[in-house]
Chain A
Amino acid sequence: MKFLPTSDADRASMLAAIGVSSVDDLFASIPASVRIAPDLPPPMSEIEIRRLFGGMSSRNAHARDSAFFLGAGVYNHYVSAIADQMLYRAEWLTSYTPYQPEVSQGTLQSIFEFQTHMCLLTGMDVANASLYEGASALVEALLMADRLVRNRRKAVLSLGIHPEYRETVTTYFQNLGLDVVEVPLGSDGRTDGAALSAAVDETTFAVAVQSPNFRGVIEDWKVGTEAAHAKGAMAVAVIAEAASLALLAPPGEAGADIACGEAQSLGVPMHNGGPLLGFLACRTAHQRQIPGRLVGQTSDAEGRRAFCLTLSTREQHIRREKATSNICTNQGLMALASNIHMSLLGRKGLREVALQSHAKAEYLKAAIAKVPGYRLPDSAPTFNEFVVEGPGPAAPLLSRLARGGILGGVALSRWSPKDERAFVIAVTEMNTRAEMDRLAAALAGSEGAAGPDESDRRLS
């Protein structure tokens, strides 16, 4: 077995040193009745593994062989080759949580840089070392708000927040004595500001709004922050498409207390939905309640700058059931990828990605609006994602498009059966005008059947 470096002779001399006659003797404390070998196939060679996995990989449509317009929380943005290749370095890949700063300065400094990037993008003061992904980041943000605003039990959430984020909040809240009130969107696709304010009262500890919201519509953060602050609640800004942060007014400028969400768009491949990159940022005043890992700057015994994990007294390995959160790991490698990506694109590139995504989405919106039978139900401005309503059920339409090499959007019926005809389309800098013309033409075809096309990149 190629991952096991012990020779037979070494094993024999190790057993002798231990003073037992066989490895089996070392398992004597496990009752014999439960020592049952698994019924698994024989070991596979690397060649066979490549064959098996290559086969499974080829049975999926993906962003490199399709005209790709899927979003709804995971986005197909540009990632530089170096951002992935750097992850192969053993010093990044095969190290662990930097508990020992003297031999972990690389990871620690990279996290410190990641924290800085997230602060610059969100306009917040402090960001943590990353969280699992967007939905659990929202949970952690709400639980943090609950700690900061004591003795209240209601969180008010806009229905523009990703439905899987809201479902996750419900899962976590079910036994904590915390309630969720959801506020609908207005007819233009934005959160109904009056309804939001009306839902917030003296029992509310947090108000959360997502922008761009799940329909791609840009919200004014102030709708959430003003409703929250009027009643002494924490304003939580949720971001699922972090590429937008380079173009849209950041939550920090609008007075948000906590910004959280998903940073996958900033340098992390889609990975079929995971690993992603949750983040959470807040105000300096609240930094000691921030959940998850944090890296701080300090100095070593010779006075040189150094970094280490800090404020670990909030964490469960010390506080146990009184900890701020039960989370233990962060998304270290994804935060590194994102740090590399944000550093490469920087001030100009992050903005250009956002501008291109937006301009292309506007082009596709205009093209689809002209297709008979299709309409854009939301009149409010969008960033790079928008909802389309077609003449018939969206799911079968999108399946037909997919068979023709176009991943044309995500049907809303998955989360909302009444929106049977609606789907959400995402556009990024990766999409070409030709692909967008093809999607519009396919929709214009006989109920969206994708016709043969010279540029068709069909599934093999």
Chain B
Amino acid sequence: MSVETDPSTVSTEGKASGRGDRLHPEPRHEPLVFERSGPGKIGYSLPPLDVPEALAIPPALVRGEIEGETEISEVEVARHFTRLSRLNFSIDEALYPLGSCTMKHNPRTNEEMARLPGFAASHPLAPEEVSQGTLELAWRLEQMLIELTGLSRVTLQPAAGAQGELAGILMVRAALAKEGNPRKTVLIPDSAHGTNPASAHFAGYKVKELKSNARGTLDLHVLEEAMTEDVAALMLTVPNTLGIFEDRILEIARIVHAKGGYLYCDGANFNSFVGVAKPGAMGIDVMHMNLHKTFSTPHGGGGPGSGPVAVVPRLVPFLPRPTIERRADGGFFLDFDRPESIGRLRTFLGNYGMFVRALSYIAAYGNRIGEVARGAVLNANYIRAGLTGVYHLKYDAPSMHEVVFSDKKQAEKGVHNGDIGKRLMDYGFHPPTISFPLIVHGALMIEPTETEGKPGLDAFIAAMRAIAREVEEDPRIVLDAPHTTPVKRVDEVGAARNLILRWSPGGRPDTPDPVR
């Protein structure tokens, strides 16, 4: 490759970056923590035992040494995890346009609040009179989510969106069963997240997939035909995974309700209309939200999430147990006496630490929270305008918070969406979501979120355009990408074929530890 196109020689955001301007080179290989271990090293200190030694356990039930466990000092642990961290891309570095995941800035106030000792060091089973603060916070968050959704009550218990989906459909099932017939089927558009059909299945329903129309939205004729009295619910993502708002949402709700079904909203994309429009007014009966998307709780390399579910009045009796209630005197308590509840989806109240962060986030925006959605939609449309014509846009209905292009033009040169994503890494960006939704072949699903400014968006557009040019002029550079990352393209097929899922004692590093 020429000097001009060699990403390792340029380092400004939006031009291919090799990160070569840093004081120290990026670590390229870090041994496993077990490979840093050595007898006699120690990484902790405990006070001396202040009671008599005791081992009141039959020897047969006591284990021997934990073979293979580490012996390592704190400084080595600090270095190990710092070096490992530098192999990760993060939001704080640059645009992370992973569609459907809402990778927005994570305010650090929220981290500080979650670590206050009355939250982080509190216990879910402490007596109620010494837990009024934790209960009040959860109650306040519920009130905020009620106001934002326009629905009646909210359970905070589900640990993540997928568990929220299950909770929501279980409530629908319980309500229908009480009326005498839980029904058999849940309708799900072909553009839906894969968790929707999986959740419906685990709630005991058959799934009927609805084909989207040429605009990428739900076809009302298809819905009308499928919506029988055997259908418990329609699970609809709003806006859908193409980033398109179902502009006939009111008619959709009418069709579903006319047959006695429930309208479930997958609220993974709530970021695009939070504070602007209310799901409750749309005829939505039940909706989960992802606190780690719309409400900025950190994604943490894959979790923890949190998936509260809001419901209309007729589903309230079926909410998971317990609910958080406020007495006339202002005191808060947990109500376990809910005979029609679907039960529990997990232990305790839910991912409480995420409640603290989400409430802190909502408080910071207050009545201006609609600016979140307005910013997110503006940014996605700006990217759309900047890339239209360069990448193929299968559905041209108006975009909300994300836009789904495809690799159709580039595939003619043998370059696919995955390759384009890998090449983006060389330009200093995380790839978009690749190959989802399934109804767009070769999908590139781009969600910039509201926390990206115009310079970052311009840089991203420039990078995407540059890659499109490379595909025309020198496709090999894209096909072989990434060139500048800590590891080169990873053999994922080999990983699945020859499964190595752990290190084993006595194992040796199978690649030499370079330099350091």
Contact = CB atoms under 8 A, between A and B. Distances in A.
A326 B199 contact: yes
Interface in B275-290: 275-278, 281-282
Nearest to A359: B54
A59 interface: yes
Contacts of B103: 94, 96
B301 to A, nearest CB: 4
Nearest to A274: B351
B121 A295 contact: no
B66 A120 contact: yes
B123 A63 contact: yes
B369 interface: yes
B277 A328 contact: no
A452 interface: no
Contacts of A182: none
Interface stretch (A152-160, A200-208, A346-354, A439-447): A346-354
A103 interface: yes
A39 B150 CA distance: 10
B250 A31 contact: yes
B347 interface: yes
Main secondary structure on chain B at its contact with chain A? loop
Contacts, number: 722
B313 interface: no
B144 interface: yes
A112 B503 contact: yes
Q: How large is the interface on B (under 10, 10 to 19, 20 to 34, 35 or more residues)?
A: 35 or more
A273 B298 contact: no
Interface stretch (B78-86, B222-230, B254-262, B463-471): B78-86
A420 to B, nearest CB: 15
Interface stretch (B5-13, B376-384, B408-416): B376-384
Interface string A116-148: 110111000111011011111000000000000
A380 B105 CA distance: 52
B502 A116 contact: yes
A246 interface: yes
Given A18-B381, A344-B44, A273 B198 contact: no
B298 A112 contact: no
A167 B343 contact: yes
A286 B350 CA distance: 30
A115 to B, nearest CB: 5
Contact of A46 (B109, B278, B353, B371): B109
Interface stretch (A81-89, A191-199, A229-237, A368-376): A81-89
A271 interface: yes
Contacts of B336: 414
A187 interface: no
B499 A287 contact: yes
Interface string A166-187: 0110111011110000000000
Interface string B332-376: 000010000011111111111110100010111111111100110
Contact of A103 (B130, B150, B430, B504): B430
Interface string A293-314: 1111111111111111111010
A259 B227 CA distance: 43
A61 B116 CA distance: 12
Contacts of A362: 51, 54, 56
B490 to A, nearest CB: 4
Contacts of B121: 62-64, 76, 269-270
B125 interface: yes
B273 to A, nearest CB: 6
Nearest to B350: A274
B1 interface: no
B413 to A, nearest CB: 21
Which 10 residue pairs across A and B have the least CB separation, nearest first? A175-B204, A273-B348, A57-B118, A333-B300, A273-B124, A332-B302, A59-B133, A5-B453, A90-B92, A275-B304
Given A3-B107, A37-B370, A343-B72, A95 B301 contact: yes
B61 interface: yes
A160 B301 CA distance: 34
Contacts of B501: 112, 115, 126-127, 287, 294-297, 310
B378 A59 contact: no
Residue among A99, A104, A333, A381 having the largest count of chain B Cβ atoms under 10 Å: A104
Nearest to B149: A38
Contacts of A356: 46, 49
Contacts of B61: 218, 220, 248-249, 381
Contacts of A35: 276-277
A222 B144 CA distance: 50
A41 B123 contact: no
B29 interface: yes
Interface string A259-294: 000100000011111111000000000010000011
B84 A274 contact: no
A300 B30 contact: no
A168 B343 CA distance: 7
Contact of A53 (B71, B166, B360): B360
Given A6-B378, A102-B482, A433-B50, A96 B98 contact: yes
